[in-house]
Each structure stands twice: as C-alpha cells, then as structure tokens.
Structure 1
Amino acid sequence: MKTSVILHGLHNEFTLDQMKACIELAEKYGGSFRHVVTGIQITGIEKDDKEQFISELPDGVTTVIHRGVNSLIACVGKGHCKNGQMETKELADYVERKHYGRKTSHKCKIGISGCGRNCPDAMVKDIAFIGTSQGFMLAVGGNTGMRPEAGKILARKLTIEQSKKAVDILIDWYAKYGEPRERMGKLLERLGNPLEGVDL
C-alpha cells in the first residue's frame, strides 16, 4: 500500500540543502513530489517505510500535523517585494517558533501577506495578517474547502508587536474554548471577538 508525507519547513521555506536531502529521500523510497497548500507532499512511499522515511528527514523539515497550528504561509514582504507594505519575516518567525505544532481543537492555518495583493491567500486562513501602509489588518475565521469564506476583520493598523500579542491571544483562546473539530471561524461565531476591549 502506498502513502504520502507532507513536509513543513520554517514558514514554508526550504533551504537548497533541505530540498536536495528531500529529493534524495524521495528517490530512495520511490516517491514523487507534489506541491500542496500546507507544504510539499511526497507521494508513492510504501506505507511500511513511512516511519523510517520521516526519521531521515533533514534538520529543519518536519511533517505537517493535522490537528493544531499546522500551516503558516508568509510572503517575502517589504524589502523583498516592490509591493510590500509591511515586513513579514519577524512576525512569521515569531508565530512559527512559538505556535507551530500547538494542539488546538482542529487545524489552524495562518497567513501573513505584506500587502493587499494577498499572494499567500491569507484571507482564507483561520488567522490572516494583511500589510497596509498603516500597519497590519487582522482577519479571523477564513476557510477554504466546501464552504469557502473570507475571514472577518477584527483589527486594523497593527504594529508587528501588536500583531504578536493578537496572535498569542487568538491561539490561546482557540486552544481553550474550541470544541472538537470546530474551526476558528465557528468559534468566533459562537463566542464573539476575543480581542474586543483588549489593549493591544
């Protein structure tokens, strides 16, 4: 029986050495590559080889988890793109290091875009930061799939530090109050805005 493994690198970026090592692993185990929203998927691996395959992943590359903070996609941001309004790397690094893999009631996807062009499709993530000339806009509760929906805008003109505080509050709230298999957008509908009245 065949299976697949979805890989995750630091805010979905892979170094050349990591990619070379992943290519060598795919060749060794007879896999092929497929890009998916949450990372890189290597398909065609024998199910009996999956655990060994995972144990041989290069440093800095993990498998995607399916319940919890499992996807962070950020564009290159200001300084690396002519359209960038906000720098994205600092916030992406913070979220990745503090929250990636954290258990929540269901998957939690985060998108960070340096401008309104929204290359990482942030508005359809559970938590979205969109750069503007005046700071980040924060939207919560986006979703793709059978019932796609853009997130609800909860805050505007956030600094990077305010954005860090907001994401901490949101993920703590989701981990504490989310019911089994409840996405963040449904929790927002059920309990309301957890940032209301909070001094970010």
Structure 2
Amino acid sequence: MIAAVAEKYNLYTKITGGQRIDMFGARLEQLPEIWKELVDAGFESGQAYGKSLRTVKSCVGSTWCRFGVQDSVAMAIQLELRYRGLRSPHKLKMGVSGCARECAEARGKDVGVIATADGWNLYVGGNGGATPAHAQLLAKDLDDETLIKYIDRYFMYYIRTADRLQRTARWQEELDGGIKHVEDVVVKDTLGIAADLEAAMAKHVDTYIDEWADTLKDPERLRRFRSFVNAPDQKDDSITFVPDERGQMRPATAEEKAAAAQQPVLIGASIPLRSRDENEV
C-alpha cells in the first residue's frame, strides 16, 4: 500500500534512520486523499509533524541475534504503542537494544533501553544533533513492569517542567542536581508525585486517537488542507519538482526553476518617460 500510494502521487520515498518510511512531495490538498487510502488500509499517523514521540528504534534482539538476551523488538513495539501521540516540549526518540553491543544506539536517544541478563537498563537524556549527549543510566536490571512505570514518570515529569522546545538532554543539564534529581523523583519518589505522573500517562494512553483518522471525519478541519481558500482544487504551481538521479522526484533548485521558465514574467505595463527635451526618451 505504501508503494502504491507513493507511485500514485509520485512521492519521494526512503527508509529513515529511525526505521520509518518517509514519503515526501505531497501537495497540501493531496494529504486528505493520501491519508484516507492509508487509514483504510490499516495504517495510522506517526505524528512526525508534532512535538511528540517520533520513533522507537530496535535491534533484532534475542529472536535472531546470538548475542541478544531480551526480546528488544517486542519491547520497542510495546513502548511505541504506549507513547504514540504523546505531546511534549520537543520531539522524543527512543531506542531498545537487545544486548550491550547497542545496535539500536539507545544511549543516543531521549530514553534508551538496553537489555541485560537480569532485565533492562534504563538510560535517559540522550540525543544526537549539533550538540550530542549520551543518555545517563537511571536504573538497572528492571523487569518489564517497572521499566514502563519509570518511563511513564520520566516523560511526564519532563513534559510538566521543561521549557518549550527544550530537549531532554538540555533539560537534565539545567536541573538542580541533574541525573541525581531525576533519580530521586522518578525512582525514589522523593516529591511524592509518582502516582500523579503515572495517572497522567494512563490518561494519555486511554484517550489516544489517530489524529489523521479523526481529521478525515471532520469537514471543518479538512478545510485547512487547500492551497487557496477561493480555489480549493487548485494546486500551487510555485512548487515545482525535477527528476532525481534515482528516478524519484525532488524539489527544484532556484537555478532549475529559472532554466525551466519559458520567458521572464512581467508585472504591470511598461510606461515610457519623456525628459524635458522631447527628443529624448
């Protein structure tokens, strides 16, 4: 279905570093049509457009890898289904590795989970980008239930106290006490708010909706998806694409747009001006 939609709408596609599939190049008015086809086929929105959970990257884990000590794929799926759509001060990325060899790069994520022979080690506050940071160990050798409970508390505490557009790594650095303070709140419950944080996450899980499936049912929201208010079916011709070297399309550069233009665009009329000497123009 993804391939069929990509071919029908001529979308540029690739597999992302976070193990998703990108489809680029859809026009604004095409989005409801595309999402209707995807939703009808059983897909749901991944909220890549929001400050929310993006990906839960995983290695193959104990199912196939001879070094794996836990089922990292099953845990990654469980975490993604739990935290999908969770709005936060900034985007959230997670990783689950099935052993200490760390093929899912969990310590480069906001929350990273690494399997041990006795359970899971939980790391928090990592990210890549221009100022990368390794996630720090918060708790070790956790069972599944305790792991999820601590992640619930960590995410909700971050959401409630971080500044807007502040990633978890920068938030932890600016907290008084740093990772020790996070441990006190999340693991030891020194502030006595653990139950409240868990309840807030449970409410998110219970009230989750697929935003695109919900939008398709709302004519008022669908009105937003058009390039021109007075011409809802008209596309924006200022957006142009050219074939890519791999046979897919990509946005045209300024030079390519100029070369493709048939003639210069003239705005208004040319008005001759005469000087005081009427023989000069």
TM-score, L = length of structure 2: 0.59
SS at match of 2:55: strand
User: Would you identify which runs of 4 or more consecutive aligned residues in structure 1 move more than 4 Å?
Assistant: none
Answer yes or no: is the 8 Å Cα contact 2:57–2:95 preserved in 1. Answer: yes
Confirm or deny that 1:36 pairs with 2:24. Answer: no
Answer yes or no: is the 8 Å Cα contact 2:58–2:73 preserved in 1. Answer: yes
Answer yes or no: is the 8 Å Cα contact 1:83–1:115 preserved in 2. Answer: yes
Deviation at 1:90, TM superposition (A): 4.2
- Larger deviation: 173-182 or 48-57? 48-57
Instruction: Report matched runs for 1:1-200 at 5 Å.
Output: 21-38=1-18, 39-57=20-38, 58-63=41-46, 64-191=48-175, 192-193=178-179, 194-196=182-184, 198=187
Measured in 2, the distance between the counterparts of 1:59 and 1:112 equals 25
Measured in 1, the distance between the counterparts of 2:5 and 2:134 equals 37
Task: Point out the structure with the larger strand share.
Answer: 1
Deviation at 1:189, TM superposition (A): 1.8
Measured in 2, the distance between the counterparts of 1:66 and 1:118 equals 28
- Matched residue pairs, number? 180
Deviation at 1:28, TM superposition (A): 0.5
SS at match of 1:146: coil
Q: Which runs of 5+ in 1 are unaligned?
A: 1-20
Deviation at 1:186, TM superposition (A): 1.5
Q: What amino acid does structure 2 have at the position aligned with 1:82?
A: R
SS at match of 2:122: strand
- Larger deviation: 25-34 or 73-82? 73-82
Deviation at 1:91, TM superposition (A): 2.8
Measured in 1, the distance between the counterparts of 2:27 and 2:161 equals 38
- Larger deviation: 160-169 or 39-48? 39-48
Answer yes or no: is the 8 Å Cα contact 2:50–2:87 preserved in 1. Answer: no
Deviation at 1:117, TM superposition (A): 1.8
Deviation at 1:143, TM superposition (A): 0.9
TM-score, L = length of structure 1: 0.81
Answer yes or no: is the 8 Å Cα contact 1:111–1:127 preserved in 2. Answer: yes
Deviation at 1:33, TM superposition (A): 1.4
Deviations 1:127-183 (A, max 9, x none): 000112232121111111111221111221112222111111111112211210011
Deviation at 1:112, TM superposition (A): 0.7
Identity of aligned residues (%): 28
Deviations 1:27-86 (A, max 9, x none): 100113112223111123334323322232131342424301222112232233211112
SS at match of 2:123: strand
Measured in 2, the distance between the counterparts of 1:74 and 1:65 equals 22
Measured in 1, the distance between the counterparts of 2:49 and 2:84 equals 9
Measured in 2, the distance between the counterparts of 1:77 and 1:148 equals 25
- Larger deviation: 53-62 or 25-34? 53-62
| Aligned CA distance change for structure 1 residues 60 and 49 (closer, same or farther; 3 Å) | closer
Q: What amino acid does structure 1 have at the position aligned with 2:5?
A: L
Answer yes or no: is the 8 Å Cα contact 1:129–1:137 preserved in 2. Answer: yes
Measured in 2, the distance between the counterparts of 1:90 and 1:185 equals 26
Measured in 1, the distance between the counterparts of 2:151 and 2:78 equals 10
RMSD over aligned Cα, in angstroms? 2.0
